Amino acid sequence: MVDGHIHIERGGYTLEWIGRFADEGLEHGLDEIWLLEHCYRFREFVPMYDSVCAYSGYVNQWFHRQAGVLGLDDYLRLIHEARKSAFPIKIKFGLEICYFKEFEALVSGLTKDRGFDFVLGSVHFVDDFAFDHKAGHWDGMDVDRIYQKYFETSLELIQSGIYDGIAHPDCIKLFGHTPTFSLDGYYEAMAQALSGQNMYAEQSSGINRRCPDTAELGMNKDLLRCMKKHNIKIITVSDAHCPEDVGWKIPELNRLIAEA
């Protein structure tokens, strides 16, 4: 079993900290874990977020508490040290990168041939709206337009050719909002695009862990079936942000994939 999305941001860049994730993964019967960082942690990516910070005072305050605290070379040094060390299970290292079309060249330049095992693209902003921060931020928003733009942006992410996989591909659902139109066309387009780029999609328990009353576990069943129809590689992930959440509901995610 694999947990392919685990954030290490809450601890220092030490082998002891990495070992805690490895030990937790072993305890949950995992064969490998994929560790990563949000790109905004690194100074090199900070310019991508100027417009989202200008859009929302809340996001601006959050961002400047969290962002730009490290340089990308700090992370690369940790990866180099970890690869020389022995851990009880296989570990991969990558980056989760928020997708902004106008910054494709910046992202490609910062990540290509830098030695990452995987580069993961994610959509967290729709026209600068941070849809996944607080449910109350949706008040007065046009749900149909947000959904449409979310999936259009996801398709642009996939077609960019920069990423190995797409994170939590329907996380727009986390607070329980649903559009008035069918998403089947977007699901089909997303699966076809992933196939064309040979990318994987995440089957994530993270949204359900965060919003158990409004978000189903893993991908929507119709989206999951579409992924399987097009033979998209599906990676189970917890989106853990601490060792204790590593492996969360991974067996259940695998069952849902098998049953789809």
Torsion of CA 193, 241, 224, 99, to 10 degrees: -20
Residue 240, in any domain of the structure: yes
Close Cβ partners of 19 (under 8 Å, ≥ 6 residues apart): 87
Torsion sign (Cα): 91, 94, 96, 99: negative
Residue 151, in any domain of the structure: yes
pLDDT computed for residue 120 by the predictor:
98
pLDDT computed for residue 3 by the predictor:
98
pLDDT computed for residue 253 by the predictor:
98
Residue 50, in any domain of the structure: no
DSSP 70: B
The CATH number for 147's domain is 3.20.20.140
Residue 57, in any domain of the structure: no
pLDDT computed for residue 38 by the predictor:
97
Residue 179, in any domain of the structure: yes
pLDDT computed for residue 126 by the predictor:
97
* Buried-state track 161-183, b at ≥16 Cβ within 10 A, e below 16: ebbbbbbbbbbbbbbebebeeeb
Close Cβ partners of 226 (under 8 Å, ≥ 6 residues apart): 184, 187, 188, 190, 191
pLDDT computed for residue 113 by the predictor:
93
pLDDT in tens, the chain (260 residues): 999 999 999 999 999 999 999 999 999 999 999 999 999 999 999 999 999 999 999 999 999 998 999 999 999 999 999 999 999 999 999 999 999 999 999 999 999 999 999 999 999 999 999 999 999 999 999 999 999 999 999 999 999 999 999 999 999 999 999 999 999 999 999 999 999 999 999 999 999 999 999 999 999 999 999 999 999 999 999 999 999 999 999 999 999 999 99
Number of domains in the chain: 1
Residue 55, in any domain of the structure: no
Range of the domain at 241: 2-39+80-123+137-259
3-state secondary structure at position 235: strand
E strands within 123-166?
165-166
3-state secondary structure at position 193: helix
pLDDT computed for residue 30 by the predictor:
98
* pTM of the predicted model as reported, rounded to 2 decimal places: 0.96
pLDDT computed for residue 179 by the predictor:
97
pLDDT computed for residue 26 by the predictor:
96
